[in-house]
Amino acid sequence: MKITVIGTGYVGLVSGVCFSELGNEVICVDHIEAKIEMLNRGEVPIYEPGLQTLIANNRERGRLRFSTDLGASVKHAEVIIIAVGTPSLPNGQANLSFIEQAASEIGQAMNGYKIIVTKSTVPVGTNERIRDIIAQHSKEPFDIASVPEFLREGTAVSDTMNPDRIIIGTDSEVVRERLTELHRSLTSNIIVTDIRSAEMIKYASNAFLATKISFINEIANICEKVGADVTKVAYGMGFDQRIGASFLKAGIGYGGSCFPKDTQALIQIAGQMDYDFKLLKSVVEVNREQRFNVIRKLESLMGHLAGKTIGIWGLAFKPETDDVRDSPAFEIIAALTEMGAKVKAYDPIAAENFRRNCDVDSLIYCDTAREAAWQADALCVLTEWKEFQHIPLSEIESWLKSPYLIDGRNIYKEEQLANTQLVYYSVGRPGMN
């Protein structure tokens, strides 16, 4: 199939590349020239394991191209996939300006029947709005479909090639057939539904996952008070098939480009219909509070933090990505510096992105984990990069000025602590303090 993907970010680039790997002829379009130039030079603008090789292979086979020319790329394709960003507006609603712009540009370039697929996460009713915008600009025939994306950054390529399910929201038999054919080799779980339900499936899924995280974080907070271990509690809960073992890891809460904005957007979607989504509002509040537990623990150990040097390990919102959007590290570092602490930070991949987006001028960026921990009064682990898990705790102890280690992601095990004098705090494991 001839496919054009509009928006060459984490979703658009990975989807486009994977569709080319399946044998389709794909053009990935973006309006940021520098991004397209990089890709045309063989460089990859995002960090995503496995992506670089797939791009190189499929460019070589002539099945994958990159362009800033949206009009020509729309004309080339039978299936147009919209994968532009839908960030939050200040009130929490999804900003649909990129979607609307893409739809109007598609409309202006139409030259025959096309299927317009929206992969971006959009509020219920947006695909119908896309249909209206395209129809305002073109008399050519077309159909629309909502095919929300569920990939996770860090495992985006394997998630795209082996999805749990594909949701196709459509009101057209032709679209059902063509898109089922496009996705058939990826999974047998292809669920065809109406457009509004497809749009809602994405928000409901993300809201549910966010709820699981906030739930286990509250259980962790209670575990700390009653002397239970949340990792054992989660393990025991996870065997119940009605609950499931995934997404029950206590920590400093979720961040990233999806859960924070999608939970806010769903609260707004409900609110516009006069529905007060109380449960989800609490999920968001619990998540925001949870990150500050790191600071409360530091204060309980050291009193005032003014003049103290705090090492930070991890700036990305999760490991194996360079994405720092809504990473808990922003608020934690801002709060520490406001309290007068000196903060030194290290991340294996995401430091450059963090620097571009962080307005704390005094933050010191370190080139190694050792440098961030060196002579610090305390060290806080904010992202569970594998690199940190492999550093012996005795070594960390020898680098620190005071033996305080706050593990915001529960990456260390009890046996690793043996033979150290570290004062160790994690999340919901009071027996290890």
Residues at the site binding ligand NAD, with contacts judged by CB under 6 A: 6-12, 29-32, 35, 70, 83-86, 98, 101-102, 105, 120-121, 149, 151, 153, 257-258
Considering the complex, what minimum distance in angstroms separates the CB of residue 156 from ligand NAD? 7
Which residue, 193 or 337, has its beta carbon nearer to ligand NAD?
193
Minimum distance from residue 122 beta carbon to ligand NAD (Å)? 7
Tell me which long-range contacts 19-24 makes (C-beta under 8 A, separation of at least 24).
Answer: 19/182, 20/54, 20/58, 20/61, 20/63, 20/64, 21/54, 21/57, 21/58, 21/161, 22/185, 22/186, 23/63, 24/63, 24/182
Q: Quick one: 267 or 343, whose CB is closer to ligand NAD?
A: 267
Q: Closer CB to ligand NAD, residue 202 or residue 344? A: 202
User: Which residue's CB comes closest to ligand NAD?
Assistant: 9
Smaller CB distance to ligand NAD: residue 120 or 353?
A: 120
Closest CA to 148 of 103, 95, 204, 92: 204
Tell me how far, at minimum, the Cβ of 372 lies from ligand NAD, in Å.
27
| Catalytic choice (258, 358, 366, 380) | 258
Residue number, 209 or 391, with CB nearest to ligand NAD:
209
Least Å distance between CB 137 and ligand NAD? 14
Q: Measure the CA–CA gap between 134 and 154, rounded to whole angstroms.
A: 34
DSSP lists the bridge partners of residue 168 as: 192
The answer for 347, left when phi > 0, alpha when psi is -120 to 50, beta otherwise, is beta
Mark whether 18 is an active-site residue. no
Q: Which is nearer to ligand NAD, 157 or 363 (CB)?
A: 157
Q: Report in angstroms how near the CB of residue 276 gets to ligand NAD at its nearest.
A: 24
In angstroms, give the least distance from the CB of 7 to ligand NAD.
Answer: 3
The residues annotated with a catalytic role in the active site are 258
